[in-house]
Amino acid sequence: MIQQLVMYEEELQQINRICEILHRDSNAKAVLVIDKNGQEIAQAGDTQQLDVTSLSSLTAGNVAATGGIAQLLAEREFAGQFHEGEKTNVHISIVGQRVILVVLFDERSSLGLVRLRVRKAAAELTVVLEVMVKKSTLGIGQPSVFSEITDDDIDNLFND
Amino acid sequence: MSFINYSSREINCKIVYYGPGLCGKTTNLQYIYNKTNPEAKGKMISLATETERTLFFDFLPLSLGEIRGFKTRFHLYTVPGQVFYDASRKLILKGVDGVVYVGDSQMERMEANIESLDNLRQNLQEQGYDLDKLPYVVQYNKRDLPNAIQMSELEEQLNPTKVPSFEAVAPKGIGVFDTLKAVAKLVLTELRKGG
């Protein structure tokens, strides 16, 4: 079975900080970190107008499809994607083979600048992710509350 | 692979609806979407062809409420049922926490049902999963059609491991929420085991 991803406060704060710095330094509109299954992990910048949940799921689908193409072409993966719009551009990259870093930017920035800043942020994110995976594997960080869940707790969720 | 966020106190789980083409996977999600309070759901996304056949997936994010102070969010996905979209189906199974197999009750779809079920098992195996160890329920859809096969035969052919199964008429909502609740419960129970 594939390792479950567990996010603790400390790592999330670090990821948030990396997103904020990337957002600022790349003059981006918004930055998102998404897990490969389409769950949003962190965001920075102007995300209030965005449907982050849908964006996350579609981006993960896109990355998965591109990964499928890579396999067919005997490539390990395509590490990055760039979509150019009239107003908004999207830079997508896979970090640490686990998460997806999405940068939305407009004419105030450029692809070159975004690429440069993403490279630095990706290196930092990789370190945090490694710690996260290690903690998840060892089950340290915080005691699990789930072992205490009762049948009643679960049933109560479904009371109409 | 459920995603537990201790920081924002959220549990995110992925449920995939699997089954042969035109068995009613998208209809299940549409019914759930239409009958859920606006605050408990996000936008439903359908990546479909011009003839409304699922091309890649349908996606519906749902919030089921809190459990021990954790918000539970379920991401529901369907796969494209048509045989030639197998590469896409494999991708959507990645990171799955629970599976709903939707079978078509009509006599003439029996072969397609069996093929799809074999395909599900095979594709899960390729991703490192064992269907017998995953939270898994079966739904027999289109029970209202005159050519629907008897339940006993469907059970024998499509549910040899006797997981929870439900009769359904998806456009009318019959059996839709029962199926969802059953798989969601199994997913949370599994989470408890791992916790």
pLDDT given at position A127: 96
Chain A / chain B CB contacts < 8 angstroms: 124
Give tens-digit pLDDT for B97-130.
Answer: 999 999 999 999 999 999 999 999 999 999 999 9
CB contact under 8 A, A158 and B4: no
Q: Quickly count: other Cβ atoms within 10 Å of residue B127's Cβ.
A: 13
- Chain B residues within 8 A of A149 when measuring between CB atoms: 67-68, 188, 191-192, 195
Output the six-digit token pair for B182: 């059953």
Mean pLDDT score, A12-25: 97
Q: How far is A73 from A67, CA to CA, in rounded Å?
A: 10
Confidence of residue B175 (pLDDT cuts 50, 70, 90): very high
CB contact under 8 A, B195 and A141: no
Q: How far is CA B95 from the centre of its chain?
A: 14
pLDDT given at position A144: 64
- Chain B residues within 8 A of A12 when measuring between CB atoms: 5, 7-8
Closest in A5, A7, A58 to B45, CB measured: A58
Give tens-digit pLDDT for B56-96.
Answer: 999 999 998 888 888 999 999 999 999 989 999 999 999 99
**Greater pLDDT, A144 or A84:** A84
Backbone angles phi, psi at B80, to 5 degrees: -75, 130
> Does residue B158 register a pLDDT over 90?
yes
**A99: distance to nearest CA of chain B, Å?**
12
Candidate from A44-53, A121-130, A144-153 with smallest mean pLDDT: A144-153
Give tens-digit pLDDT for A41-97.
Answer: 999 999 999 999 999 999 999 999 999 899 899 998 888 899 999 999 999 999 998
Q: Is B59 on the interface with A (CB under 8 A)?
A: yes
Mean pLDDT score, B4-17: 89
- Chain B residues within 8 A of A57 when measuring between CB atoms: 45, 59, 61, 75
Mean pLDDT score, A116-140: 89
Please name the residue of chain A whose CA is at the shortest distance from the CA of residue B45. A54
Mean pLDDT score, A9-23: 95
Q: Is B90 on the interface with A (CB under 8 A)?
A: yes
pLDDT given at position B5: 83
Mean pLDDT score, A106-132: 96
CB contact under 8 A, A1 and B4: no
pLDDT given at position A73: 94
Give tens-digit pLDDT for A116-125.
Answer: 999 999 999 9
Helices (H) and strands (E) in chain B, counts: 5, 8
ipTM of the prediction: 0.81
* pLDDT mean across residues, chain B: 94
With a CB cutoff of 8 Å and minimum separation 6, the contacts of B168 are: B24, B28, B102, B139, B140, B141, B142, B143, B174, B175, B176, B178, B179
* pLDDT mean across residues, chain A: 89
Q: How far is CA A133 from the centre of its chain?
A: 14
A80-83/B54-67 β-pairing: unpaired
Q: What's at B106, amino acid-wise?
A: Q
Mean pLDDT score, B25-46: 94
Candidate from A2-11, B20-29, B152-161, B180-189 with smallest mean pLDDT: A2-11
Closest in B7, B65, B185 to A7, CB measured: B7
Side-by-side strand order, sheet with A40-45: A40-45, A30-35, A99-105, A89-95, A80-83
Confidence of residue A1 (pLDDT cuts 50, 70, 90): very low
Residue to substitute from B55, B192, B193, interface A, most A β-carbons within 10 A: B192
Q: What percent of chain A has pLDDT over 70?
A: 92
